[in-house]
Amino acid sequence: MKQLRQIISILILLLLLALVWEGLKWIGGDPWRVENNPFGIEHNPPLRFKVASDLNLPHLWDIGASFSKPSRRNGPPLISVLIQAAFFTFREAIIGFLFGAILGLLLGILFAHFDLLERGCMPYVVASQTVPILAIAPMVIIWLKAGWVSVAVIAAYLTFFPVTINTLRGLRSPDPRALELMRSYAASKWAVLWKLRLPAALPYIFTAFKISATASVVGAIIGELPSGIRDGLGGAILNFNQYYISGPGRLWA
């Protein structure tokens, strides 16, 4: 029931967004008319907003129609191109997510067991996230050369931080009395980690995974922009941006 309410809420939000979008076009967009219509249906908005022009804000039905149109002259439909690009980008994102998740888990475990290491390294881990990814991506591309490896590294960069922080919080979440009980049984640090700390940290870790999964996709797309990779979603954005004036619907799609 909770998931159903969430789905309904998302659908209502999308519907409201579509109404605002087309409402802005209706009030201040470009004039339009239905071609080959015997009733001569047309509309001339009372105002003119530059942001609501067909070039800056295409109609939603024009964006939807772009999916079935060729991506280029005599080329495949746009929808097939975007699906292939999405699979390519998701592959890079998955690799980056795995690298970042493993690194975040290791750092979280190390920081939880070695306070000196945490005090020495945590400020740098936090500081690494204050630098915009758009500033770091070109440097990573230069260091590692263009290719999917550099894109995966950028995705891992956005992934490891939430995993590190949540893993550390989760490993420190057990009740002190439970820790004291484990020590009374002379349990080793390894046993405490596997039998108490990690099970208690799982809710924190899975929450971090949900955040990092989205961040890895964003990182992969951003990494593709300066790398020159044309097979992913980032390359598709650059490609359709070059032809925006002649086909704005493709970039919005």
Q: Which residue has the higher pLDDT, 141 or 30?
A: 141
Architecture of domain 79-241: Orthogonal Bundle (1.10)
- Split at pLDDT 50, 70, 90, the class of 23 is confident
Chain segment 36-94, per-residue pLDDT in tens? 666 666 666 776 767 667 667 777 777 777 777 776 777 777 788 888 888 999 999 99
Cα separation, 217 vs 223, whole angstroms: 10
**Strand ranges (E), 32-78:** 32-33, 42-43
Residue 109 pLDDT more than 80? yes
Cα separation, 227 vs 94, whole angstroms: 18
Comma-separated ranges of CATH 1.10.3720.10 domains in the chain? 79-241
* pLDDT value of position 39: 60
Helix segments in the chain, DSSP class H: 2-28, 60-66, 78-113, 115-128, 133-144, 148-171, 176-184, 189-192, 198-227, 233-242, 248-252
Q: Per-residue pLDDT averaged across 190-214, rounded?
A: 89
Q: Per-residue pLDDT averaged across 198-211, rounded?
A: 92
- Split at pLDDT 50, 70, 90, the class of 186 is confident
* pTM assigned to the model: 0.79
| Rg, Å, the chain Cα set | 25
